[in-house]
Amino acid sequence: MTTGEDPATRAFYEERWHGAYRASLDLGPSKQLRAFLDRLAADSAILELGTGGGRDGKAMADAGYSVDITDGCAAMVEETAKRIGHPVRVLRFCDLSAEQLYDGVWAQACLLHVERAALPGMIARIYRALKPGGVFFASYKAGDAEGRDRWGRLFNYPDPDWLHATYFEAVDWAVFDLNTAPGHGYNGEQIDWHSVTVVKGEKHDDR
């Protein structure tokens, strides 16, 4: 069974975390973060996947939320923790095993590296990690087929219809909101981004 992990993509981040991603802390939090937090209570427990330089994790911690800040790149974690003054732990997507532990899951620009075949399973893991009524945000670079960029990183490059089908192949979300807007990628590349916010239903189930 595929884990969604790509060795070339992992190597890129292990080698380059100290460049643009380290500097990203100086940019301030992602513009979508405020809308995500507005859906949550002030005492919410939040899991952040793929924190990178830590800018969003720091913003959530500074705002008083209980944030479990994680990244799959071991080389990033220790330095990011020092820079943001908050614990950061190593967590690969495929190792997420929590059940109904979090009120929110924040995955800014990280699940876009999960293989298409593995994404439904990853989404199901996040669903299980959420409490009923929990909110999950993720962003993806827009496209129409899985592929690699000029640095060799793997992207799932989804379109809106594929994302909708994939999210509901995994589980039955109570709310599905998708927005597309122009933005930037690594080294300033221009690309459209899909932002997806979903909400887990209030009824308990065993998925």
Task: Render pLDDT for 124-180 as a digit per residue (tens, 0 to 9).
Answer: 999 999 999 999 999 999 999 999 999 899 999 999 999 999 999 989 999 999 999
For the chain, the domain total comes to 1
pLDDT band at 1 (very low <50, low <70, confident <90, very high): very low
Summary mean pLDDT of the chain: 90
The two tokens of residue 175 are: 């709310």
pLDDT band at residue 23 using 50, 70 and 90 as cut-offs: low
Report the CATH number at residue 89: 3.40.50.150
Q: What is the CA radius of gyration of the chain?
A: 16
Residue 204 lies in a domain: no
The pLDDT of residue 20 is 53
205 lies in some domain: no
DSSP 3-state assignment of 24? helix
Given a cut of 90, whether residue 34 has pLDDT beyond it is yes
Query: Does residue 127 lie within any of the structural domains?
Result: yes
Is the residue at 1 inside a domain?
A: no
Give the Cα-Cα-Cα angle 191, 193, 198 (nearest 5 degrees).
Answer: 170
Q: Rounded distance, CA 194 to CA 190, Å? A: 13
Residue 206: inside a domain: no
Domain limits at 132? Answer: 7-199
Does a structural domain hold residue 207?
Answer: no
Tokens of 205: 């189930």
